[in-house]
Amino acid sequence: MIKLDWRNNSIRLLALLLAIVMWIYVSNEQNPVREKILNVSLEHNELEQNFMIMGGLPENVRLRIQGNHNQLANLAPGDFKAVVKIPEGRTGDLALPVQVSAPAGLRIAQVTPEEVSVKVDRIVSRQIPVAVSLRGSPAQGFTALAPQYQPDVVVARGPSRLVNEINQATAVVDIQQAVSEITQTLAVNVGSPDVSLSPATVQVVVPIVSAVASKTVPVIPQVTGSPAVGFTVKRSFTEPASVQVLGPADLIGVITEIKTGPVSIQGADKNLSREVDLVVPQGAAGVQPGRVNVQVEVNKVEAPSPSPPAIDTGSEPPGPNP
């Protein structure tokens, strides 16, 4: 029968445990667990076409990393990857976690922030009107007429929450101390760098004339040609029915009406509506507005009612007196 030497074995076991403890102690003293702080660029997945991030995504996240001296010695931000995955087709304010990948053997003790609130919107396009305003005043004795510009509509493209709130694109013309007509190419603006405009500029003309008198006069439509056979013109009129004519006081005093450009009704068999220019009298500074809508009502001619037949009484007409 084998006899165990418990006394010697206990000493050996104790010596082994002491050796293990000593090894752990020495290892920790020579290569203890340490921490390192790194700022790592925050990335995101590619968004679908016509979607964009409006805000809420920081450029970097702060990582608190734990490891031993050797592991942390040459560690760089490029060794880590911090990503936010934005779900497809979703818009609005999205609360999304930051996902971090690290080299093996290291522990990510903290990510700041752990979650970000990302604003995502859909890109849309919409036509909006252009409005041109005047800044300043012309020289004494002169006046500025209403600006004329082309185009009067542009296409706004950008995030839907911005584009849908835009009422108009604006441009401003400086007419301070002007004494003659101003012609400029101006950039239009909607007040947001995230919205693009196409076209981005408008051609603007501002007539500058000597101080003038004004008068409101009726508009007379000029209708030419004849309607189709069996039809007739019931009436013609303009919208608006009157306009303001501008010019020297002596000329304005004798103007009693403004005529439209010709509107042809040749062969017409139904009502017509045409937008035409007005004929500006010679010497006048202008007419506001410069165009009107001419309405022509065309009616079908009613066939005349047949005359009743003559009644034969059977009596002969009286002869000459004997």
pLDDT of the residue at 142: 83
Q: Alpha-carbon distance 124 to 158, whole Å?
A: 6
Task: Work out the percent of the chain whose per-residue pLDDT is above 90.
Answer: 54
Task: Please state, rounded to an integer, the average pLDDT across all residues of the chain.
Answer: 86
Residue 154 included in any domain: yes
pTM summary value = 0.50
Mean pLDDT over 18-27 rounds to 64
pLDDT of the residue at 302: 80
Which domain does 85 fall in, by range?
Answer: 31-113
pLDDT of the residue at 322: 42
Q: Alpha-carbon distance 51 to 54, whole Å?
A: 10
The enclosing domain of 71 has a CATH number of 2.170.120.30
pLDDT of the residue at 303: 67
Residue 310 included in any domain: no
Mean pLDDT over 13-42 rounds to 72
Contact 87, 118 (CB under 8 A): no
Confidence class for position 1, pLDDT limits 50, 70, 90: very low
Confidence class for position 314, pLDDT limits 50, 70, 90: low
Q: Alpha-carbon distance 56 to 117, whole Å?
A: 5
Task: Work out the percent of the chain whose per-residue pLDDT is above 70.
Answer: 87
Mean pLDDT over 188-207 rounds to 94
Domain count, the chain: 3
- DSSP three-state, residue 34: strand
Confidence class for position 307, pLDDT limits 50, 70, 90: low
Greatest mean pLDDT among 89-93, 163-167, 318-322:
163-167
CA distances from 89 to 51, 119, 121, 122, 319 (A): 8, 13, 9, 9, 107
Residue 256 included in any domain: yes
Among 152, 183, 210, the domain-final residue is 210
Mean pLDDT over 249-259 rounds to 88
158 pLDDT higher than 80: yes
Residue 152 included in any domain: yes
The enclosing domain of 249 has a CATH number of 2.170.120.40
Greatest mean pLDDT among 17-21, 27-31, 165-169:
165-169
Confidence class for position 155, pLDDT limits 50, 70, 90: very high
User: Do residues 224 and 286 share a domain?
Assistant: yes
pLDDT of the residue at 95: 92
User: Do residues 174 and 147 share a domain?
Assistant: yes
User: Do residues 86 and 163 share a domain?
Assistant: no
28 pLDDT higher than 50: yes
Closest CA to 243 of 183, 313, 276, 292: 292
Mean pLDDT over 51-61 rounds to 89
User: Do residues 198 and 243 share a domain?
Assistant: no
Residue 133 included in any domain: yes
pLDDT of the residue at 318: 55
CA distances from 256 to 10, 105, 234, 309 (A): 130, 96, 24, 53
Q: Alpha-carbon distance 81 to 43, whole Å?
A: 8
CA distances from 110 to 57, 59, 286 (A): 18, 17, 74
